[in-house]
Amino acid sequence: MNEKQSWKEWLSSENAVRWLYLILGFLAILMLMTILQRSTDAICCGDWDGYYHIRWSQLLWESLSNGDGLPEFKWLPLTILDPENYSDHHFLFHLLQIPFLWFFEPVTAAKVASLFYGTLAVFSVYWLLFYYKVDYLPVWLGAILICANPFYYRMNMAKAPPLTIIFSVIGIYLLFERKYVWLFPLMFVFTWTYSLFPMLWVASFIWTLIIAWNERVFEWRPLGYTTLGMVLGNVIHPYFPNNIKLFLEHLSMKIRMGNFDVPVGGEWYPYSGVELLTNFPIAFLAMFLGYVLFVPRRRLPEKATFFLLFVTPLLIAQFLAKRYAEYFPPFAILFAAFSWQAFFTPDLSSLPEDFRREIEPLLDKKKDKGIYGRLKQAFAVALGAFFFLLVIFYYKGIQIGSFKQEGLIESIKINEPHSKYERATQWAKANIPENEIIFNCNWDDFPKLFYFDPTHRYVHGLDPNYLYSKNPELFKVVDDIVKGKVDDPGPIIREKIGANYVFSDSKDCTDFIAKALESGWFEIAYEDDEAYFLKLRQQKGQPPSLELEDEADGIEDEITVNSGEEKNDFNQEETEENE
């Protein structure tokens, strides 16, 4: 009887309501991520890097399962990712995709893996609010779901950033709970997963500063364990020392924030002012709320101060490059939530530390009762419902008068289909000798080419800096060719690059393709409505257009001759009839 009564009391308690919010929040996040993934048949979204990742995961699994060790990466031999210098800076991420390949074909495996890790990443942010008993969970859940369209766009790209969020949230939890020793294995696996592992070291540094201010002691363990994990994770690495060289290469390339030696992917350039306002209104509002509610005291509120120092650099970075949409929006919500919590929490800094730690659990257990408690819950539910309505508009799109905001679902739907380049690459596998270098006009076509046709090698891919860093002179040659600055590119492509075939999207590199054909060195070997291959001739000949004109002239002459013969026959027949 007592057990049944206590169970009923628990079900009617605020704790049960919070657990219900947690479960419903997980289901809402899962449903949203599923809808977004099902909005396209391709590996989402924008760029095609997910095709590279899942194909390389498949090749890793085939090689490791056969006992052959790590496979050789031979597909970009002219870049710093050549077989001698290649390093997989997503190594653990590629391993974590492998279990999905046991049950699904590669594209579906990539999409299911993206759904799994993306959902966990978003849920981990929500879980942190639940665990530390932040009030108004439905409100914060709604804010997380609409924090920024680009955030969810990038969470569905079948890439490593969701794991970065998961590891960062785990690390923040370990810092808050002062379980510092576990930061060592966490940082170790983080270094094997993605090159943004320094985020965890920065978080530890911020926490060390907060503890030093509040407690007037140098707490070395957060920095010590993360530094040890970072060093050993990089040294005890399957690609050591190439992983160190590639990390330094990335650091030197990206730290310039817009002042790049060569044009890079669009994610490294900033949003316009209008794009920032229309894509990040909730995240910016959360930052504003966090700054307004943050009240520095003699003893700093630890969690709110941590997110203040952690998220502000991400806010600045968001103005400099689009790609930080992967991190800034959800952590902005956390900053607002913990600033809210600290603002409405009694200041106990004047009390002795031992006494303060004893009564903090008692304060956590304090419940709002009576009419005030009911109104508080009703407000939370109402505001949460309002945010969920915004979710619908946010993802389906909003139009108010002349203002129109495209919905995320629609922007994903218009992504290019999975089958793009499949016909062209099937032709290449059947007609171009294996291991030939193909001059791919655009570096960002490489992931799709690598996925559909791993039997050939390519000139550049994944990042144009990889070619530039290996050979700046060759990069300049390739860049001039693809921009149509070279009138006779055939001999250069053969002698300096070693390629006999050119691949291009049907709508790109038009100046180069026109000059290549006009030069007489190339002929169209394959063409469809998506792409074409040009074949480099052994000797210079007439341009294909002139050949077609000569052929047309020959046909016209033949028609004229035949018409004349038919006319003479007709006249002769008519004369005979008159006689």
- What is the model's pTM? 0.85
Per-residue pLDDT band at 299 (split at 50, 70, 90):
confident
Dmax over CA atoms of the chain, in Å, equals 135
Asked if residues 222 and 214 have their Cβ atoms less than 8 Å apart, the reply is: no
pLDDT(212) > 80:
yes
The mean pLDDT value for 413-417 works out to: 85
Q: Would you state the pLDDT for residue 534?
A: 93
> At 454, which amino acid appears?
P
Asked if residues 93 and 121 have their Cβ atoms less than 8 Å apart, the reply is: no
pLDDT(355) > 50:
yes
Q: How far apart are CA 176 and CA 13, in angstroms?
A: 26
Instruction: Name the one residue in this structure whose structure tokens are 């923040």.
Output: 172
Q: Would you state the pLDDT for residue 502?
A: 94
Task: Compute the CA torsion angle 30, 136, 387, 20 (nearest 10 deg).
Answer: 40
Q: Would you state the pLDDT for residue 399?
A: 55
Asked if residues 329 and 151 have their Cβ atoms less than 8 Å apart, the reply is: yes
Q: Would you state the pLDDT for residue 556?
A: 42
Q: Quick one: which of 340, 339, 313 has its CA closest to 324?
A: 313
Tell me the CB-side half-sphere exposure of residue 461, using CA atoms within 13 A: 27
Q: Quick one: which of 12, 129, 118, 112 has its CA closest to 54?
A: 112
Residue 121 burial (CB count, 10 A) = 24
The mean pLDDT value for 237-265 works out to: 76
Strand partners, 534: 502, 524
Please give the residue that has the higher pLDDT: either 11 or 554: 11
pLDDT, tens digit (0-9, with 9 covering 90-100), for 481-536? 998 888 888 899 999 999 999 999 988 888 889 888 888 899 999 999 999 899 99
Q: How far apart are CA 45 and CA 411, in angstroms?
A: 9
Per-residue pLDDT band at 290 (split at 50, 70, 90):
very high
Q: Would you state the pLDDT for residue 351?
A: 53
On the 0-12 / 13-18 / 19+ scale of CB atoms within 10 A, 336 is buried
Rank 46-60, 138-152, 244-258 by mean pLDDT and report only the highest. 46-60
pLDDT(282) > 50:
yes
pLDDT, tens digit (0-9, with 9 covering 90-100), for 303-347? 999 999 999 999 999 998 888 889 999 999 999 999 998 887 766
> DSSP characters for 79-111?
STTSTTT---TTHHHHHHHHHHHTTS-HHHHHH
pLDDT(97) > 80:
yes
Q: Using the 8-state DSSP alphabet, how is residue 182 labeled?
A: G
Q: Would you state the pLDDT for residue 25?
A: 92
Q: Which of 57-71, 91-105, 188-202, 372-386 has the lowest mean pLDDT?
A: 372-386
Q: Would you state the pLDDT for residue 87?
A: 93
Q: Would you state the pLDDT for residue 570?
A: 41
Per-residue pLDDT band at 284 (split at 50, 70, 90):
very high
Which residues 6+ apart lie within 8 Å of 141 measured at CB?
21, 25, 28, 126, 384, 387
Q: Would you state the pLDDT for residue 253?
A: 67
Q: How far apart are CA 243 and CA 85, in angstroms?
A: 9
The mean pLDDT value for 38-50 works out to: 88
pLDDT(147) > 80:
yes
The mean pLDDT value for 534-541 works out to: 89
Q: Could you give the C-alpha distances from 356 to 270, 341, 368, 576, in angstroms and in order?
A: 46, 17, 21, 126
The mean pLDDT value for 454-470 works out to: 92
Asked if residues 56 and 126 have their Cβ atoms less than 8 Å apart, the reply is: no
pLDDT(453) > 60:
yes
Q: Would you state the pLDDT for residue 509?
A: 86
Q: Would you state the pLDDT for residue 220?
A: 94
Q: Would you state the pLDDT for residue 279?
A: 84
Query: Beta strands 499-505 and 437-440: pairing type?
Result: parallel
% of the chain exceeding 90 in pLDDT: 53
On average, the pLDDT of the chain sits at 84
pLDDT, tens digit (0-9, with 9 covering 90-100), for 370-413? 555 566 566 666 666 666 666 666 666 665 555 556 677 878 88
Q: Quick one: which of 439, 457, 456, 459 has its CA closest to 535?
A: 439
On the 0-12 / 13-18 / 19+ scale of CB atoms within 10 A, 388 is middle
Q: Would you state the pLDDT for residue 455?
A: 95
Per-residue pLDDT band at 239 (split at 50, 70, 90):
very high
Q: How far apart are CA 490 and CA 22, in angstroms?
A: 62
Asked if residues 483 and 463 have their Cβ atoms less than 8 Å apart, the reply is: no
Q: Would you state the pLDDT for residue 503?
A: 95
